[in-house]
Structure 1
Amino acid sequence: MPVVAADAASRSPGPPPALRVGYLGPAGTFTEQALRSEPALAGCDFVALPSIPEVLEAAAGDLDLGFAAIENSIEGSVNITLDTLAFDADLLIQRETILSVRLNLLAPVGSDLEGIERIVSFPHAVAQCRSFLRRRLPQARIDAANSTAEAVRATAAGGDPRTAAIGTELAGALYNLNVLATDIGDHRGNQTRFVTVAARGIPSPTGHDKTSLVTFQRSDRPGSLLNILQEFAARSINLTKLESRPTKRSLGDYCFIIDLAGHVADELVADCLLNIQAKQADVKFLGSYPAGGERADGARREADDAWRRAAAWIDTVRAHLAS
């Protein structure tokens, strides 16, 4: 009997395998820091990849999820993420994560600030430290890396005391670099927004959600963007982001990236998207997902209630139609 029981236990299914999440590596990036701060992704297997397009490509293929930066409060959108989602990948945003960013200048042991002649980092990170670099290191050459952690790793491997990297304190510790200057960003309120993406699935509404989409105008005529925006205004739907991006088809041909407060399961949002798709523009739906941060959505709920009352009123009017 004990043998049979042991054999049965060995055949019983174990816990499901952990979800695999791709992120911009190597170890020590801000992306990894944000990923590890997200409770919903605790217990997942993290897979470091060398570039954001490869992260998103893997999320559409071999991996369960991808995790990538999409917007910074100082430098704006991360265009490679936006463009890949808009044009190259069929992925749905599952949630957003907001990370407060602190940038540090890191260099090999024995380096000093006055001797730095070359700085390596991710372009967005360099751009967020312009004032510090102009004031303290105006002579330094700036070279780009695929990520802040890649810059730190390369700087550590090179061992040149004249080269420094801009990156996280975590990366500096991982690759044994000294911190020459801390918190060198130009703005104290620096935050980066990250998104988790998957090939399928829309999370259920939480009451504090966001929807992202891309609209492609069917014709270039006066008032076409206004007509799209009026669909949102008529329903009191708050837009949290509106950005134009070239469609890559021809010069002057643009699409619009839109984030709005609400969920596609909401009657107001669904009706709005239905009208835009039917009358105004082709819509690529990028997802409805729990919103990060503390932004309230009371106005959207009030508008939703008003829309239901109006729908009930029109149903009452139509009830008098002759059959």
Structure 2
Amino acid sequence: MSVKTSIMFMGSIREYRGSYIMKKNRVKVAYQGLIGSYSYEAAINFFPDSDYVSFQSFDRATEAVQSGDAQYVILPVENTSAGRVMEVHSILSESELHIVGEYLLPVNHCLFVSKAAISKDSSNLDKEDLEEILNKIVYVKSHPQALAQCKGFIKEFLPKAVAYPTYDTAGAVREVSSEKSEKYAAIGSHLNQETYNVVKLIDNIQDVKNNVTRFLILAKQPLDVSLIGKDAITTIKFETNHAPGSLVDALKIFQRHKIDLIKLETFMSGENKQIPCFYVDILASLHSQTMSDALNEFGQVVDKYSILGSYPIDPKRGDNNGFLK
């Protein structure tokens, strides 16, 4: 994703920042992971020329916005091949932040080894050299999501390797960069080659070539109605009385109003994760008359609901990436 495309998509977010963005002041963006992680890549694409603050966990990154130490947090919520990031769904339902945007990041995984582990000139490796290096790899490190997205590649090309999960893709690459043994490799973003002392052996090793991760941008305040536009998503969390047909009755309301639902998930919430809730993405602005009419009916058939956010869609939706538009 080019910076130019990201800036085009950022139009409403730029206006939402208000007068200080016109003065070219920088905003502070929280993300999970290290420099070189995919969350970092999404942050610099969506918020170019800003200040980026790294946190080890999604919770800590979110708390930075709640405390006022950052204006935004960018969180990965789902991937086209590995599915949803469950920890983030819990944060969405329990934090008091609002979703103000989404960003679809094409994810192209690369395989890295330490420069110190390669005896030959890394800039001039032939096919035989590469096969020899791959056959010596015993441990391949990365975030569980990245390992899952490259499961087929690992099985076929790293037959001796054991997947070793870490909390962050960039953290895995950093760990491997200090290794002198040829037994270790890591999977991560191409950005890591610029940051750590590693050699990129192969790129685009993900099993699904059109591999995309969806990120959500959260802030303390909801996006102003004037900035949302016609092409929007409204995300709702709700609970029903769990009687037979109660979920169907709730969802049919949107059908009657000709409003498209593009995502429906179930997750557990509450202090002990004992309350089943539903999470739905609706292809409509919260402030449209049709949506307003539908929600008036919706509130009468569900036990309770809350609006997590209403925000512009990423224009890359519908580009054969599994994200509906």
Same fold, TM-score > 0.5, yes or no: yes
Give CA-to-partner distance per residue, 1:55-82, whole Å, 9 cap, x none.
1121222211101111111111111111
| Aligned equivalents of 1:22, 1:236: Cα separation in 2 | 37
Size of the aligned set, in residue pairs, is 280
Tell me: higher relative CO, structure 1 or 2? Use CA pairs within 8 A at least 6 residues apart.
2
Give CA-to-partner distance per residue, 1:240-278, whole Å, 9 cap, x none.
110111235778852111001111111111222232223
- 2:54 alignment counterpart: 48
Q: Which amino acid aligns with 2:72?
A: L
Give the secondary structure class of the aligned counterpart of 1:67: strand
- 1:174 alignment counterpart: 195
Question: Which residue of 82, 106, 114 maps to 2:112?
Answer: 106
Give the secondary structure class of the aligned counterpart of 1:264: coil
Question: Does 1:70 pair with 2:77?
Answer: yes
Tell me: CA distance 1:295–1:165, structure 2 relative to 1, closer, same or farther (3 Å): closer
After superposition, where does 1:131-170 map in structure 2 within 5 Å?
131-170=152-191
Structure 1 segments of 4+ aligned residues over 4 angstroms from their partners: 13-17, 248-253
Question: Does 1:282 pair with 2:289?
Answer: no
| Aligned equivalents of 2:23, 2:212: Cα separation in 1 | 36
* Structure 1: gaps (5+ residues): 1-12, 297-323
Q: CA deviation at 1:105?
A: 0.8
Contact 2:136 2:160 in 1 (8 A): no
| Aligned equivalents of 1:164, 1:191: Cα separation in 2 | 23
- 1:184 alignment counterpart: 205
| Aligned equivalents of 2:174, 2:272: Cα separation in 1 | 39
| Aligned equivalents of 1:16, 1:103: Cα separation in 2 | 33
Give CA-to-partner distance per residue, 1:208-245, whole Å, 9 cap, x none.
1111111112x220001101111111111111110111
| Aligned equivalents of 1:242, 1:270: Cα separation in 2 | 20
Larger radius of gyration: 1
Contact 2:236 2:305 in 1 (8 A): yes
- 2:63 alignment counterpart: 57
Give the secondary structure class of the aligned counterpart of 2:156: helix
Q: Which amino acid aligns with 2:196?
A: Y
- 2:121 alignment counterpart: none
Question: Does 1:19 pair with 2:27?
Answer: yes
Tell me the TM-score normalised to structure 1 length. 0.81
- 1:209 alignment counterpart: 232
Contact 1:22 1:46 in 2 (8 A): yes
Q: Give the stretch that moved more between structures: 252-261 or 181-190.
A: 252-261
Q: Which amino acid aligns with 2:144?
A: P
Q: CA deviation at 1:279?
A: 2.7
Contact 1:118 1:163 in 2 (8 A): yes
* Structure 2: gaps (5+ residues): 1-19, 119-132, 319-325
Tell me the TM-score normalised to structure 2 length. 0.81
Contact 1:214 1:258 in 2 (8 A): yes
- 1:30 alignment counterpart: 38
